[in-house]
Amino acid sequence: MRCAIYARVSTDRQGESVDHQVSLLREFAKRKGADWEVLDHLIFEDEGISATKTSIWTRPAMRRLMEAAEKSEVDVVLFKGISRLARNTQEALDVLDRLRARGLRVLSYEESYDSAKENSNFMFTMHAAIAEYEAEKIGVRVRLGNKEKAKSGRWVGGTPPDGYRVGSDGHLVPDEARAPLIHAIFSRYALDGVSCAAIARELNARGEKTSAGNPFSQTAVARILDNEVYAGHLIYNRRTDRTVRDYDSDVPGKKKERRMPNARTDWVVVHGAHPSLVPQGLIQMAQMRRGRARRQAPRTRHLLTGILACGCCHAPMIAQVKRSKKRIYRYYVCRTYHHAGRRACAQASVPAEALESYVFTRLSERLREVGIPALAQVVKSARVKESERIKRARERVDAQLARLTEAWIAAQTDDVLASQAASIRTRIARLTAERDALFARMAQDEARRDESVHEIYARLVDLAQDEPAMSRYWLRMFIASLVMRDRTLLIQYTFSSSGDTPIHGNV
């Protein structure tokens, strides 16, 4: 009897080690008889993995156990308790069914469960349900305890916000080394009118790092400005992290964390819970500007995003918009430079309209040079690729709709899934709309097939005059990539070799 041992210890229960479980199960197998042998290569340990948050099918040791079972390398599987196997009844039963389907015998030490006994499935189901209920009970107790802790003004959670540390009494206290940096960020934003991206570049140029040791980014600065903790307020339970099944995933039963907003009545708000790092007036000025910046966030579609890259650091070049009272300025900037400043990448920004006009002009010239035969070959290849892309997208959407439909049907009778019914219904509606859009694209693609290459060639006299969506379509058909280095643009066409093309001074 070749015995395998599966042991797991969760992130919130480190007191019970996997070594203890393995030692206990070795002794258990020894008492069964001399022919029960625990082989060293058949000991599978998942350490520091929560059964509540992690799907059983994504655990490394469980995957190796299943591979050994498929290769018929094991006869018996031992585990200390059903709660070590899974904290979800459905997952526990799925594992049991898969192991038994391969002819394996399954034993649990704590519950005295043995799959070789008659009518054992009922007892296994009962114990699995109890393990799931216990996990839910532990979660409720932890949440209630954290709520009471927050009500007293103590910090709840992991790493404290940048500029603070956790004192001996559990309250936040200013970190004297980091507090001036936080104050400077608010001052630069609220008083000097400097953007989040520019502040991040300034900090990185001085060699500053976040409390986690990373370079500052636009997002990191924005999160500091939006955090009420710097005014001395503690807000807890604004959102709840819920573990849900990802029905769009190709991995069966995969779980993911979803942050769900809670009603304001459930929030714990404690004013003056700890010393503030920034004066109230400065915080109010920053909040007013943050609100205005969010309302004015540009939603312009830019023609070269997705194919334009930086030649210095190979990062994508992204589009930025600046507004004045008289006009809107668009330009392309290296993403590395945008997030981390000039020290990270020296590539200069490029005016968007001039660059787009230059690309279209050069493309039109090149298409005239290669003529209709080369154009016909490119169009034919592009049409085939587009059809394949639409077909793959439709197959993906159909598969997701099938999984969600099954989940919706199950939600009508399953109390656990019932709470997710509204979310499942919303996603079904979204995917149905996506599928309808794909059918429309298929119809457009069929109509486009009847258009002759001569007609297409006639339209390419001035590509830039097309509507933006069509202009993007032509660009992606005929241009494989654009690489900007200093003032030189490298254009890689889909129908000929690339060449360095200098950008003139007016760009």
- Residues 449, 454, 460, 462: is their CA dihedral positive or negative? negative
φ/ψ of 197, rounded to 5, equals -65, -40
Strand locations in 359-466, DSSP E?
Answer: none
Strand locations in 168-233, DSSP E?
Answer: 172-174
Which string of DSSP letters, residue by residue, matches 302-319?
-TTTTTEEETTT-PBEEE
- Give the C-alpha separation, 147 to 270, whole Å: 11
- Give the C-alpha separation, 180 to 182, whole Å: 5
Convert 32-57 to b/e letters by CB count within 10 Å (16 or more is b).
eeeebebeeebbbbbeebbbbbbbbb
Which residue is catalytic, options 10, 83, 108, 217?
Answer: 10
- Give the C-alpha separation, 397 to 32, whole Å: 52
Rounded (10°) angle between helices 120-151 and 89-101: 150
For residue 396, what is the enclosing H or E element?
helix 352-411
381 is catalytic: no
Note every long-range contact of 259-262, with CB atoms under 8 Å and residues 24 or more positions apart, other chains counting. Answer: 262/237, 262/238
**Whole-number Cα distances in Å, 375 to 319, 356, 372, 432, 464:** 30, 21, 5, 36, 18
268-270 and 234-236 beta bridge pairing: antiparallel
Alpha-carbon dihedral of residues 366, 371, 376, 378, nearest 10 degrees? -20
φ/ψ of 200, rounded to 5, equals -60, -40
Q: Is 243 exposed, middle or buried (0-12, 13-18, 19+ CB in 10 A)?
A: middle
Angle at 358 between CA 485 and CA 472, to 5 degrees: 95
Rounded (10°) angle between helices 196-205 and 218-226: 110
What are the strands of the beta sheet with 328-334, ordered from one edge?
Answer: 317-323, 328-334, 350-351
What is the set of active-site residues? 10
